[in-house]
Amino acid sequence: MRVLVIEDDVTTADYIAKGLGELGHVVELARTGKDGLFLALNETFDAIITDRMLPGPDGVAILRALRASGIRTPVLIVTAMGEVEARVDGLDAGADDYLAKPFAFSELRARLDAMTRRVSETTEGEASVLRVGDLEFNLLRRTVRRGTTKIDLLPTELRLLEFMMRHPGQVLTRTMLLERVWDFNFDPTTNVVDVHMSRLRRKLDAAGPPLIRTMRGAGYMLAADDA
Amino acid sequence: MRKSFALRVAALAAALVVVVCGLGFGWGFLRVESALRDQLDLAIASDAQDYLADFESLGANALIASVADAARRRGALVLLQTAEGTTIAGNIRGAPLGLNGFDDLHLPDGRDLRALGAILPRGLNLIVAADLAPVRRSAAALVGALPLAGVVAAFAALVLGFFAARRLELRLRRVSDAATAVIAGDLSRRLPETGGGDEFDRLSATTNAVLARVEALVEGLQATTTSIAHDLRSPLFRLRQALEAALARPRDPEADAATFEASLSELDSVLSTFAALLRIARAEAGVGNAGFVTVDLSELVTRVCETYEAVAEDAGKTLSAEVAPGLTLRADPDLLRQALANLIENALTHGGDRIRVVLQANGGATLIVTDNGPGIPPEEYAQVLQRFHRLDTSRNTPGTGLGLALVAAVARLHGARLELGDAGPGLRVTLALPSH
């Protein structure tokens, strides 16, 4: 993937660039909002990671300019900690995701992954049934079956599974799950995600081989064996 | 130069009185003069009638005789002249020709006259007149007392204006003095309130409310700073020690990895404390008001409870929820969700094995979280709502010590009443949200 990173802080920029480089991505770095906007408008990228606060046009302004010129490249906005309003602003302006500093690289990687794949998936249109391997989620009836077995899930488990089935084969971090499934924009002190994940996993695995994998130090992934 | 508000107000009032008096005097003079002239005109007309009666009944010679007689004996101003201006009888020199009707005359000798002229047959012109000077003197005499009254009024306005404005200035100065004291750092200083309920009192009351809010915010900020210094220093210090020790010992990949992992988790806990503090600060600053939306509170509470029912069960505890359906209100859903999560996690961590969450409708919405744990002694209720307060002073139980402080901040942001109580046994936390 070709990724544009717009970040004025040298340490953060190098951290992101080095990490993405090791994953085999090609990284373009821009240190100011002006340079970043120029690159974003004139070259093609698979994803853009931009800081919220920048010299020149800031992250949200860049985002608005891109969307105004019809550029749909997925954008991840990185902000300083605690800027909750910034998250709302960014998502309103058309950002695909949001990440608060400081973050673990695994978090950035998972979000970049989910973001770029989501775009390719949504182009296929909204399906009424989600499928991963022999697992089937009927979105209209809110029912789940695996092969021929009907699986009874609680509302929270249904929401969790739906989100995971919309991102098959992708690492989903606990923070991502908390934000998207629970609307929790904070870190609970109890192991909320793990508790529900293990219940969901027990119910799914009763009807076949394991579908949910734990990615150590990163999060969870839903994938059929053949995937 | 220091400008005196009182002096300016007094001068303005006096100037206003002078102008009003001046206009009044002018108008008065004109009215009196015009009334006197009317009387004069009546007298002249009556005289003229007498002459004309003489002329009509006795003829021209009789008129000439009575004009001459009147001019000579009574000192009356009267003239009978030919159409060409030759005086036949009478004593007005320099009268115009052919005067017919009333007019003001200015004679060559400087006198101003009021005159009535009549054209008689054969070109005779009769003019009956009276001197205007007495009229003017009378009018001037009648209004002459008024300027003195005006001067007195202007002086009174000056004095009264000065004292009224001075009183105002003193009140303003007390306000300004109090404000200066606040600027100088005395945040507990308040503006004087007389209790009179006038505009000044209302302004003072409002300003005092602002000052109270500012004082509370600053105190909160100081408390936060102190707690950060206190609570974040120790984990950061532990982190430093661990890294220093690891650096000093010979390289050992396994031990180093263990140190790194422990350090990362220590750092994560520092960061989550920071995040919690920032959330509290945001809620307390009240900026969230802008982010209020209509929230389906029943659904929000149900979802959070569903989430924690499983967590409780895994911990060998039970969580039961009793949620009134269809309750909506304007709120910050993010913060409400976190406040409820904090209350439930607090109960899970410190409060026994049975947790009960109730959402009731009663005008607004009341959220009650009860546990059957040891509870909190009533004298510590106020303290546990402070940042970083923990009953377990050894800080062995998990948590940032910020959970209830955030709940308190969220309650304040929503104008809600937060009460701690004894559930006998256990702790009961009640959050009463207003309906507005």
Same domain, B301 and B409: yes
The predicted pLDDT at position A227 comes to 45
Say if residues A34 and A56 touch (Cβ distance below 8 Å): yes
B313 and B408 inside one domain: yes
Distance of residue B381 Cα from the nearest chain A Cα, in angstroms? 22
Report the C-alpha gap between B341 and B347 in whole angstroms.
10
Q: Is A80 on the interface with B (CB under 8 A)?
A: no
- Based on the fold, state whether residues B295 and B416 are members of the same structural domain: yes
Based on the fold, state whether residues B220 and B296 are members of the same structural domain.
no
- Pairwise CA distance, residues A71 & A43, whole Å: 11
A70 interfacial to chain B (CB closer than 8 Å): no
Whether the pLDDT of residue A222 is over 90: the answer is: yes
Average pLDDT (B194-217) is 82
pLDDT at B390: 47
Tens of pLDDT, residues B300-338 = 999 999 999 999 999 999 999 999 999 999 888 888 999
Average pLDDT score over residue span B59-83 = 84
Residues B428, B292 within the same domain: yes
Domain for residue B32, yes or no?
A: yes
* Same domain? B207 vs B240: yes
pLDDT at B72 over 90: no
Mean pLDDT along residues A32-48: 92
Q: Considering B205, B239, B273, which residue would you say is the last residue of a domain? A: B273
CA angle A197, A201, A204 (to 5 degrees): 140
pLDDT at B33: 84
pLDDT at A121 over 80: no
Mind telling me how many Å the CA of A174 is from chain B's nearest CA?
14
Can you tell me the distance from the alpha carbon of B76 to that of B315, in angstroms, rounded to the nearest whole number? 129
Parent domain of B332: 286-433
The pLDDT-based confidence of A123 (bands split at 50, 70, 90) is very low
The whole-number average pLDDT for the span B99-108 is 86
Task: For residue B396, name the pLDDT band (cuts at 50, 70, 90).
Answer: very low
- Higher confidence at residue B290 or residue A144? A144
B257 touches chain A (CB under 8 A): no
Any chain A CB within 8 A of the CB of B232?
no
Considering its fold, how many domains does chain B have in total? 3
Q: Is residue A216 within 8 angstroms of chain B, CB to CB? A: no
Question: Which one is predicted more confidently, B391 or B150?
Answer: B150
Residues B330 and B354 both lie in one domain = yes
A·B CB contacts under 8 A: 67
Among the partner-chain residues A88, A187, A195, the one whose CB lies closest to the CB of B314 is: A195
Residue B235 reports pLDDT greater than 50: yes
Which of the listed residues B143, B175, B204 is the one where a domain comes to its end? B143
Q: Is A202 on the interface with B (CB under 8 A)?
A: no
Residues B261 and B384 in one domain: no
CB contacts of B404 in chain A (<8 Å) are none
Is B58 a residue whose pLDDT tops 70? yes
Q: Is residue B266 part of a domain?
A: yes
Check residues B224 and B42 and name the one with the higher pLDDT.
B42
Asked whether residue B205 is domain-assigned, the answer is yes
Please state the rounded mean pLDDT for residues B163-192: 84
CATH label of the domain that carries residue B10: 3.30.450.20
Question: How does the average pLDDT of chain A come out, rounded?
Answer: 87
Of all residues in chain B, the one with the smallest CA distance to A102 is: B271
Q: Report the SS3 class of residue B362.
A: strand
Q: How high does pLDDT run on average in chain B?
A: 84
Residue among B315, B388, B380, B377 nearest B349 (CA)? B315
Instruction: Specify whether B233 is located in the same domain as B307.
Output: no
Is B68 part of any domain?
Answer: yes
| Range scoring the smallest mean pLDDT among A95-104, A200-209, B72-81, B109-118 | B72-81
pLDDT at A177 over 90: yes
Q: Is residue B176 part of a domain?
A: no
Query: Do both B257 and B361 map to the same domain?
Result: no
Share of chain A above pLDDT 90, in %: 50
Rounded Cα distance between A185 and B278, Å, is 13
Quick one: B362 and B401 in the same domain? yes
Residue B154 binned pLDDT confidence (cut-offs 50, 70, 90): confident
Q: Is the complex ipTM more than 0.85?
A: no
Share of chain B above pLDDT 70, in %: 93
Residue B392 has pLDDT above 60, yes or no: no
Tell me if B26 is assigned to some domain. yes
A194-208, B64-78, B96-110, B158-172: which has the highest mean pLDDT? Answer: A194-208
- The per-residue pLDDT for A113 is 87
CATH of the domain at B339: 3.30.565.10
Residues above pLDDT 70, as percent of chain A: 93
Chain B, residues 196-215, CB within 8 A of chain A, namely none
pLDDT at B389: 55
The reply to whether B181 falls in a domain is no
Name the token pair of B263: 């350090």
Question: Residues B368, B357: contact at Cβ < 8 Å?
Answer: yes
- Give the mean model confidence (pLDDT) for residues A178-203: 91
Instruction: Tell me the C-alpha distance between B428 and B372, whole Å.
Output: 9
**Cα–Cα–Cα angle for B231, B234, B240, rounded to 5 degrees:** 140
From chain A, the residues in CB contact with B271 under 8 A are 81, 102
Q: What is the pLDDT of residue B308?
A: 95
- For residue B232, tell me if it sits in a domain: yes
Which pTM does this prediction carry?
A: 0.65
Predicted confidence (pLDDT) per residue in A12-22, tens digit: 899 999 999 99
Which residues touch B383 (CB under 8 Å, ≥6 apart)? B389
Does the pLDDT value for residue A199 go beyond 90?
yes
Mean pLDDT, residues A83-97: 76
Q: Closest partner residue to B341 among A188, A191, A196, by Cβ?
A: A188
Across the interface, of A81, A102, A199, the residue whose CB is closest to B278 is A81
> Contacts by A143-147 with C-beta closer than 8 Å and gap 24+?
A146/A204, A146/A207, A146/A208, A147/A207, A147/A208
pLDDT at A226: 55
Task: Tell me whether A184 touches chain B (CB under 8 Å).
Answer: yes
B367 pLDDT higher than 90: yes
Q: What is the set of domains in chain A, with CATH numbers?
A: 2-122 (3.40.50.2300), 129-222 (1.10.10.10)
* B271/A102 Cβ within 8 A: yes
Same domain, B340 and B408: yes
